[in-house]
Amino acid sequence: MPLRFVHCSDIHLLELAGTTPQRFFNKRLTGGVNLLLNRSRKYDGGMFQKIVAAAHAHEAERLVITGDLTNLALESEFEHVKRHLEAVGLPVTVIPGNHDAYTRGSARAQRFEHYMSAFMEGEREPGSDYPFVQRLGDVALVGLSTAIPSLPLYAVGRVGDEQLARLGRFLAKLRAEGLARVVLIHHPVVRGVAKPRHDLLDLDAFGRVIAEHGAELILHGHEHRRLEGALPGPGGVPVPVHGVGSGTYLSQKPGRHGAYSLYTVRPGQVTRTYHRWDGRGFVADEPDAPLLAGTGSH
Ligand SMILES: [Fe+2]
Ligand SMILES: [Fe+2]
């Protein structure tokens, strides 16, 4: 059975209630106040509701969000996001982004995992949170975390050697089962596309896992713009890498529009229609030609 789903990212839902001034004695959060004020002019959380309505209209089976659901990883923000996700009316899958581990305290407390666990249920190796695997018919969603707190002005990420090893084992197993593997990761994984200080620190190591085990599709966010790329899989067969713009960004600059994508994935084939914000609503680009996904294993 194919899986039809909507992918969006970087919704950065704003919730200012609960951001008491004393929280901002934390140096990292002091910078965060400016970020919030700036964001509130450029992003509109109401666009997320439009994406949800569109997902229902498309008869999507699931909504997939690749990180940066919050801005400062405050408890009040996670409560706000959780309420929105519980009201989606469709199954939801999420992974964290760097903003969801904005402070060391939020990362140490595993705040994202605490609030979002209902949207990350799946198979895991014992004792680890990531990757998690959701088997949905002939498709497996493989959720990773690159979320680490970084210094002010940095928005880097890291998968880490242990998580990469687990990823390799899952990809091998799912490939042997003939499932279409959709890898979810917040940061871009193709070299040279991230802004300076925005990189995935172990991008080459991630690329080596994909070169060895392959995947049918890799989805990410983080850059708030449309990115199209590929990584070589086994035998050099390209694995498509799609970056989607922010779901709530009001911009209409080419490539930087608010956006979501509608996918239908089945073993051997991926189809996508990219939708971008035109100032009033989301409009569909021409559907892509179907990508013949896969590494020849099925
Ligand atoms: Fe973001
Ligand atoms: Fe990000």
- Indicate whether 158 belongs to any domain: yes
Residue 45: the pLDDT is: 92
* Overall average pLDDT of the 12-23 stretch: 72
Residue 19: the pLDDT is: 62
For residue 22, give Cα distances in angstroms to 11, 26, 29, 100: 26, 8, 10, 20
Convert the pLDDT of each residue in 147-177 to its tens digit: 998 887 889 999 999 999 999 999 999 999 9
Ligand 1 centroid–CA 213 distance in Å is 28
Ligand 1 centroid–CA 10 distance in Å is 4
Total structural domains in the chain? 1
Question: Which range (153-157, 200-204, 216-220) has the least confidence?
Answer: 153-157
Does 22 or 259 have the greater pLDDT score? 259
Ligand 2 centroid–CA 124 distance in Å is 24
Q: Which ligand has its closest atom nearest to the C-alpha of 42? A: 1
- Indicate whether 94 belongs to any domain: yes
Ligand 2 centroid–CA 268 distance in Å is 30
Amino acid at 25: F
Residue 18: the pLDDT is: 60
Does 186 or 149 have the greater pLDDT score? 186
Q: What confidence tier does 33 reach under pLDDT thresholds 50, 70, 90?
A: confident
Residue 276: the pLDDT is: 95
Ligand 2 centroid–CA 98 distance in Å is 5
Residue 253: the pLDDT is: 85
Q: Where are the beta strands (DSSP E) in 40-187?
A: 62-66, 92-95, 132-136, 139-143, 180-184
- Indicate whether 199 belongs to any domain: yes
- pLDDT surpasses 80 at 191: yes
Question: Which range (28-42, 114-128, 252-266) has the least confidence?
Answer: 28-42
- Indicate whether 238 belongs to any domain: yes
- Indicate whether 290 belongs to any domain: no
Backbone angles phi, psi at 152, to 5 degrees: -50, 140
Rounded CA-CA distance 282/252 in Å is: 11
Ligand 2 centroid–CA 89 distance in Å is 26
Q: Which ligand has its closest atom nearest to the C-alpha of 244? A: 1
Q: Which residues pair with 139 in a beta bridge?
A: 136, 180
* Overall average pLDDT of the 258-270 stretch: 96
* Overall average pLDDT of the 40-50 stretch: 92
Amino acid at 180: A
* Overall average pLDDT of the 91-97 stretch: 98
Ligand 1 centroid–CA 120 distance in Å is 19
110: left (phi over 0), alpha (psi -120 to 50) or beta: left
Cα radius of gyration (the chain): 18
Residue 32: the pLDDT is: 75
The closest of 63, 9, 6 to 185, measured between CA atoms, is 9
- Indicate whether 294 belongs to any domain: no
Ligand 2 centroid–CA 70 distance in Å is 10
Rounded CA-CA distance 55/176 in Å is: 31
* Overall average pLDDT of the 80-84 stretch: 97
- Indicate whether 295 belongs to any domain: no
Query: Domain range for residue 169?
Result: 3-284
- Which CATH number covers residue 55? 3.60.21.10
Q: What confidence tier does 234 reach under pLDDT thresholds 50, 70, 90?
A: very high
Rounded CA-CA distance 231/30 in Å is: 38
The pocket of ion ligand 2, defined by CB under 5 A, consists of 68, 97-98, 222
Ligand 1 centroid–CA 68 distance in Å is 5
Q: State which H helix or E strand residue 274 sits in.
A: strand 269-277
Ligand 1 centroid–CA 245 distance in Å is 9
Ligand 2 centroid–CA 160 distance in Å is 17
- Indicate whether 119 belongs to any domain: yes
Does 37 or 229 have the greater pLDDT score? 229
Ligand 1 centroid–CA 285 distance in Å is 23
- pLDDT surpasses 70 at 294: no
Residue 295: the pLDDT is: 38
* 251 and 217 Cβ atoms separated by less than 8 Å: no
* Overall average pLDDT of the 263-291 stretch: 90
Residue 153: the pLDDT is: 80
Q: Which ligand has its closest atom nearest to the C-alpha of 198? A: 2
Rounded CA-CA distance 116/70 in Å is: 12
- Surface-to-core class of residue 125, CB atoms within 10 Å of its CB (0-12 exposed, 13-18 middle, 19+ buried): middle
Ligand 1 centroid–CA 174 distance in Å is 29
* 282 and 297 Cβ atoms separated by less than 8 Å: no
